[in-house]
Structure formats: C-alpha cells, structure tokens
Structure 1
Amino acid sequence: MKARIALPILGAALLAACASQPRPLQGTFNEITPRDAAASDVTGATVRWGGRIVGVEPHTNRTCFEMMSTQLSDYGRPYWASDDVGGRFIACRTGFYDPALFEKNREVTFTGRIDGYENRRIGEYDYRFPRVEADVVYLWPAREYVDVVTRPAPWPWWGWW
C-alpha cells in the first residue's frame, strides 16, 4: 500500500526536478526590478534580470547590452504577459559577444551585481540605467511561432460510418 503512494510522489518529484531553471541561472537574488533600481541607489545588490536586447556594444575587453526588461518565468526566461515592461538596464560582461548572434529583440537573462548607473538618452528623454556587472549571460533559443490551420470536415456526416 505504501508503494502505491510513494511511487507517484517520487515520480512527481523527479519531474519537478527536471522542470527547473538552467544551472547558471540558479541562486538567490534580490527581488528588485530595473525600474525600482533606477529610482533608488541599490549598488551592490545581486540580481537576475532578463528581457529583450535593444542594443549590443562591443568594447575593447567587454561587451555591454542595453536591455528592455520584463518579468522572468519560473525557469528564468523572460516572458511578456503584457506591454508593461520592468524598465531598462545595461549589463556588461568581460569578453566579446557577437552582435550578429546577440541581435535586437533576442531574449537574454543575466545574473550579476549592480555596480553603478549610467545616464543615457532614449530619444529626447534622459534615462537612468542601472548597470549590472554580469556573471552569467544566458541567451535563450529563439522562439518558434507556428500558425495552426484547422479545416472543417468536408461534410457533417463524414466519419459516422
């Protein structure tokens, strides 16, 4: 009798273990959004932020990403439940990240520490960007969108025979 109860519980636990965040994105992070960070000084806070790439800036020894932030799913992947974005941020990491691969609108999740702020313009608007010194740059696979076309049965009686 105990085996009947234990086996389904064990199976559910194993499935739940498979449905977790990618290992590089695991950890404990502050629950601060980029919008919150821009409004106050939280330098030194460790964060896991993600969103869509607005621009990529390769420098001599590092690459910086300008990001439009959104919420993250339980897996750490950005998801777009509405048009309400969580602000913008800049994430920088040592090394070269090719702008041809890290192109505009690709989804990326970063983990790291807020190491300061940069003032930049978005159009004519002055915006205060929190800047993350990233430990992890996690580029998500491009989402595949499929159009599903359904056809009605050629005759309502078809298939009754």
Structure 2
Amino acid sequence: MSLRRSARSGWAISAPLSVCLILAGCGGGSISRGPHSVARAPSAGPMPLQSQSVPDDLAALRKVAVVPLTPDQAVDARYIGKRIRWAGSIHHIAPSETGACLTLSYMRSGDDGAPLWQAAATDQSFRACTVGAYDRQLVSDFTTVTIIGRISGKADVGMGGAHSTGPAVEIEKLFRWSDCLSGDTSPVCKIGFVTLTVPSRD
C-alpha cells in the first residue's frame, strides 16, 4: 500500500490503501513524491535490494567519512573543502559549462545516509554540480538521492523564481533511491550509485 503524489494533483490514495483505511486494519507504508523517487517514514524498514551491488553500495554510503553539517551551517566559508553526505529531493537540473548542476531540497538522513521523511520540512536547499551528466531516466526532477561531495562555496538555490543563497557542492558520488517494488529489476528501478557519462575531450 502507498500514498503517491502526482505532479499535478498532489497526494493521492491508492485503492488498496483506501480499503485499508475503511477496514482500519493496515500497518505503515511508503510515501512517494514522484515517479522515480522514494520517500519513507522514519520507522520504515530498509529499502528493497535488487542486485548484488546494492549491499556494497549501501555499505560504502554508510562508511564514508563526512562532517556533520546542514546546508544552513555549510554556507560559512570555513567549511569550504569539507566532505558532506546529504540526502535530498531534486527540484531541478540545469546544464553547466562542464556538466550539470542539481538544486535539491535538503532532507534529514540517518547514519546510513538514507533519507528520513518527517512531517516538518527542513526549508534548506543546496546546489550540487558535477562534470558530465547522469542518465535522465535515473536522475531527474523529484528523484530522491544522497549526495557525497565537498563544499565549494555558495550558490543561488532559489526555487520558483525566488532567490536564496545556499551551499554549493562538488559531487563525488550520487546514490539513487527507488520506490519500485522489491524484485523489480527494470533499469528505472535502480538503487545505488549512479555512473556519470563524461564528455569526450576530443
């Protein structure tokens, strides 16, 4: 059962969940904000594993050494060069001279780097840039990801025409989360680190 949020109509209750609500006999479930993103309650279980590489990617995500900062804290110049691990939902992607920049709504995460869905929004954003490009079937608006990278300065992180300053991050790795059902091996259901396509220098 799940709650899904469409780009046009907002939250929608699926048929199985509506039956559960009537019968008052269902437990917790997952919440999704987009076709390729995941959102889960803080008490939810681990994400479904769909390939042999996923446990290794999760272990690498968990073990990376980072500085425990939030985007609001990271705008301080003394943190430039520090490595962070931030979860977030992609608001939009824009091309850059060397690749692409992602503007993300910051999400709190656990010690393993997995995003935690909470009732109160963080109201924090950050911009993460990389050399090259990601497959847009895997990394697009509303995709939920965890970024490993280093703070490189400040950037405009405004959304919807508003202007706001937040930290800029140079991406080292991008971990993608998925809301696909366990066992679904479709390419768009990938969970794990996403490989960059780096342009040729010829």
Q: TM-score range by the shorter chain?
A: 0.5 to 0.7
CA contact (8 A) 2:154 2:166 kept: yes
* From 59, 62, 77, the counterpart of 2:99: 62
* From 81, 85, 91, the counterpart of 2:122: 85
Structure 2 counterpart SS, 1:129:
strand
Shift of 1:124: 5.4
Shift of 1:25: 5.0
CA contact (8 A) 1:61 1:96 kept: no
- The 1:25/1:137 distance shift into structure 2, 3 A limit, reads farther
Root-mean-square deviation (Å)? 2.5
Task: State how 1:106-117 maps to structure 2 within 5 Å.
Answer: 106-117=143-154
CA contact (8 A) 2:151 2:170 kept: yes
The aligned residue for residue 50 of structure 1 is 87
* From 142, 166, 169, the counterpart of 1:105: 142
Task: State how 1:103-142 maps to structure 2 within 5 Å.
Answer: 103-123=140-160, 125-142=162-179
Structure 2 counterpart SS, 1:51:
strand
Q: Does 1:35 align with 2:63?
A: no
Task: Give TM-score, length-normalised by structure 1.
Answer: 0.67
Shift of 1:71: 0.9
The aligned residue for residue 6 of structure 1 is none
The aligned residue for residue 131 of structure 2 is 94
Structure 1 counterpart SS, 2:163:
strand
Unaligned runs of 5+ in 1: 1-17, 145-161
Query: Deviation per CA, 1:93-131, whole angstroms, max 9, x where unpaired?
Result: 221113343122211011111011113543454211211
% identical aligned pairs = 26
Distance 2:123 2:83 in 1: 17
Distance 1:125 1:24 in 2: 33
Larger Rg: 1
Structure 2 counterpart SS, 1:22:
helix
Task: Give TM-score, length-normalised by structure 2.
Answer: 0.55
